[in-house]
Amino acid sequence: MLADHCSSSLILALPDDVFAIVSRFLSPRDACNLRLCCQSLNAVAASDKVWLAQCDILGLVAAQDLVEWRKGVSSYKALCRFLVSVRSLIGIWVHQNPELGNVVYVMPGFVSVVGCRIIPQELGPLGLEGGPLLWAPVFEIVGDSDGSTAFFLHGRERDNDYFYPGFLKKVDRSCNVLLLEVEPRQQNKGWKLLHSRSLVHHPDKELSRRIYRSDSGIPRSQRVVGPSQSVVPFSRLASGDRRKLLEIVTSQVRFKVPNSANGLMFPRIRDDDENFQKDMVLLSERRLLLIQMYKLGEGEIPSDPTHMESSKIQRNLDRQIGCRGSLNGDEGHLQCAKRKTVAGYLKDSFKRILGRSSSVKGSRTVLMNGSSSSENKYAQLHEFLRSGDMIGLSLHASTVKLSSYRAWPNMRENQFALYKLPMRVPGTSQEYAGLWGGTFGWPPGRPTEDKPGKALFFLLLSYEESEGQRLLIATKILEGTHYVLHPNGSAMFIVKVNEPSLDPFPWDTDADSIPVDIIHAYKGEGIANGYGFRYPGSKPGSLFVIQDGFLAFIWRESRAVLTLRRLNLQELLKKGERVPALPPIANFAYLTKSYSNIFAGYSNTAYSNTAIGLSSPRCVLYYPLK
């Protein structure tokens, strides 16, 4: 007892600055537990200096920027709460579709994190030293003054930008899958989005009938999920039901982005203090506006559908009746009934014929087994809706067991999900690990007369052990061509780092006529035609490590060269230019297989008269790597 008293007295005798340094060896959880020891330690552990140190050791925001972030929250402890809740989201997330690359980088904003889609693009006449990187917003997670979070999905419909507010579930520390879902909630828990009963009037009659059946004859008090009744997860619904629910919720909870909230989402490069402070003012005002809109429930649907404005109901019905679904799973675009082609009628006819035969087989299965296989495989929609009084969007960062092939995750293509790429910190044994960008040709990124625009590639370099060999694998995650040449997740080259290459480098000088200094050269194989699009062949080549941080892989036979440079995506995005987002659900994960640049197509439509210059489907854009 005396020893404990002396220990606490010694700690309390430390100066505040020294105690803050000592507290850096504690985790945020330990810092909270320290406050429970005694009243004296409670006062010391609650100081801003202690929690500033905790925010700093998380490493998500530069120390000088933490001071600016503190102005938007009630304390450094509240700021630390927000940073801890979102830190696992920071990084690179991908999806298999479209094949040109669906790369979303989550980075800090201002008391927020922002998901930015990198647009597939080409290098301009200035090569790697050209203009800005183009990106589109996917989602934002904004911190309130107490450190709580507000989730906003971004989307664009009919040339208007919209926010789609939702709820951020607890983020797993080791999360590797980011899911866009519909979440049932009880009204008394503060959920202010969409009441499930209002879906009864949706034009999809089959969906409405199933929803109505879930509510009819069941008092609200009995529809509350009890301790013995399990909640049906969104992932257990059939893919068609998941898509329909997301389409309905986004169509109801959206609100148009005001001009004052359509500006900066993160500060630009801090090269001028005066301009940086102006950015901070704009970001602070925008964040307060978003929090206010979130709390007031803009786009809210009351519990009683009769309280909705009749004009708003009619607009929603007219829009949804006019087009079937939203993104058609086979064609990847809005398919309106009035624009149906002869081929479409034939296709639907075959589907109906096949559907009849399958329904006969299904009825036989039900007669023999008492239930259909689909009912056993998927949860029923009415069971899902019984879980709460209201439903709304949610963002779920979960951890699942994923297999991968050459650093590319094997993903399910029927989920609205993004998959996190493991980023290794470069070290002595893995010095080339990480994200690299570049293009074909030498000198690096310089166009030629026959190819004025060169495709920008993003490659993830990682290490593997195979049959006693240590391999360096360059996995393609983004390609800036108009029509994809290499599938997502393909290995552009594989190098044996234990086998030096004796092949000479074909050029003596670089773009500035400076002699080329080769540091290392390794044997390897580069991608080539051979087994089709998904399983290409390979041909021998060499990887050269060049001065000034360049890598160059050269195919021995063709002498084609892929030149790479390490990327800092945060800095590139801060220098970049924003282009419009896709429609909301597709903006999160584009589930339709596509081999063309669908992102540039939407950008062309929305920004045809702007200075960005997306005037043709091929769209020569500019991008810096320095």
Mean of the per-residue pLDDT values of the chain = 76
Residue 256, token pair as written in the block: 């148009």
Q: Are 40 and 81 in contact (CB under 8 A)?
A: no
Q: Which residues, 6+ apart, have CB-to-CB distance to 539 below 8 Å? A: 525, 526, 528, 555, 556, 557, 558
Tell me, what's the pLDDT at 536?
85
Query: Which residue intervals of 370-398 are DSSP H helices?
Result: 373-377, 381-385
For residue 132, name the pLDDT band (cuts at 50, 70, 90). confident
Residue 601, SS3 per DSSP = helix
What are the Cα distances from residue 326, in Å, to 102, 247, 577? 20, 7, 28
**Please, which pLDDT band fits residue 16 given cuts at 50, 70 and 90?**
low
In the DSSP assignment, the letter for residue 168 is E
Query: Phi and psi at residue 291, in whole multiples of 5°?
Result: -65, -40
Q: For residues 606 and 582, what is the distance between their CA atoms, to the nearest angstrom? A: 10
pLDDT band for 612, please (50, 70, 90 cuts).
very low
pLDDT at res. 331: 34
Q: CA-CA distance, 625 to 567, in Å (whole number)?
A: 7
Average pLDDT score over residue span 356-385: 57
Q: Is the pLDDT of residue 235 over 80?
A: yes
Q: For position 376, what pLDDT does the model report?
A: 64
- The residue ranking higher by pLDDT, 428 or 208, is 428
pLDDT band at 378 (very low <50, low <70, confident <90, very high): confident
Q: Which two tokens stand for residue 159?
A: 């040339």
For 175, the token pair is 């999360």
Backbone angles phi, psi at 161, to 5 degrees: -90, 140
pLDDT at 500: 95
Average pLDDT of the segment spanning 297-326: 37
**Does the pLDDT of residue 615 top 80, yes or no?**
no
Residue with tokens 């999920």: 225
Q: Are 422 and 461 in contact (CB under 8 A)?
A: no
Helix/strand/coil for 86: helix
Take residue 220 and report the two structure tokens written for it: 């609200």
Region 483-492 average pLDDT:
90
Q: Comparing 12 with 520, which gets the higher pLDDT?
A: 520
> By the 8 A CB rule, do 597 and 471 touch?
no
pLDDT class of 471 with cuts at 50, 70, 90: very high
Pure H helices in 24-111? 28-34, 39-45, 48-58, 63-70, 76-86
Q: Over range 346-358, report the average pLDDT.
A: 47
Q: Contact at 8 Å (CB) between 461 and 436?
A: yes
Is the model's pLDDT at 604 over the cut of 80? no
514 SS3 class: coil
Which residue would you say has higher pLDDT here, 526 or 338? 526
User: What pLDDT, on the 0 to 100 scale, is given for residue 130?
Assistant: 56
Token readout for 461 is: 């370099």
Quick check: 176 pLDDT over 90? yes
Most confident of 84-93, 184-193, 345-354, 390-399: 84-93
CB contact at 8 A, 489 and 103: no
Minimum mean pLDDT range among 64-73, 201-210, 243-252, 600-609:
600-609
Lowest model confidence (mean pLDDT) among 37-41, 405-409, 428-432: 37-41
* Cα–Cα separations (whole angstroms), residue 244 to 160, 188, 330: 22, 26, 15
Cβ atoms of 346 and 610 within 8 Å: the answer is no
Instruction: Express each pLDDT in 97-129 by its tens digit.
Output: 999 889 999 999 999 999 999 999 887 555 555
- Of 170-184, 267-281, 388-402, the range with the highest mean pLDDT is 170-184
Domain residue extents for the chain = 2-85
> Which residues partner with 123 through β-bridges?
454
Q: What is the DSSP secondary structure assignment for residue 331, as one 8-state letter?
A: T
Average pLDDT, integer, range 249-269: 90
pLDDT at 199 over 60: no
Exposure of 436 in the CB half-sphere (CA atoms within 13 A): 25
- What is the β-pairing status of strands 134-143 and 577-578? parallel
User: What is the tens place of the pLDDT at every residue in 333-342?
Assistant: 333 333 344 4
Residue 598 has pLDDT above 80, yes or no: yes
Pairwise CA distance, residues 149 & 395, whole Å: 11
Q: What is the pTM of this model?
A: 0.79
C-alpha dihedral (257, 262, 267, 268), degrees to nearest 10: 150
Rounded Cα distance, 510 and 59, in Å: 37
2-85 topology per CATH: Monooxygenase (1.20.1280)
The continuous run of DSSP H or E covering 472 comes out as strand 469-479
- pLDDT in the model for residue 13: 60
Distance (Å, rounded) from C-alpha 82 to C-alpha 245? 29
Q: Helix %, strand %, coil % for the chain, to 5?
A: 35, 25, 40
Angle at CA 303, nearest 5°, toward 297 and 304? 125
pLDDT in tens, 534-548: 778 899 999 999 988
Cα 389 to Cα 486: distance, rounded to the nearest angstrom: 47
Omega before 443 within 30 of 0, i.e. cis: yes
Percent of the chain with pLDDT over 70: 67
Per-residue pLDDT averaged across 207-218, rounded? 49
Of 402 and 354, the structure prediction assigns the larger pLDDT to 402
Between CA 559 and CA 482 the distance in angstroms is 24
Predicted pLDDT at 337: 34
Asked if the peptide bond before residue 584 counts as cis, ω within 30 degrees of 0, the response is no
- The pLDDT score that the predictor gives to residue 380 is 87
Distance CA 584, CA 164 (A): 8
**Pair 607, 600: CB distance under 8 Å:** no
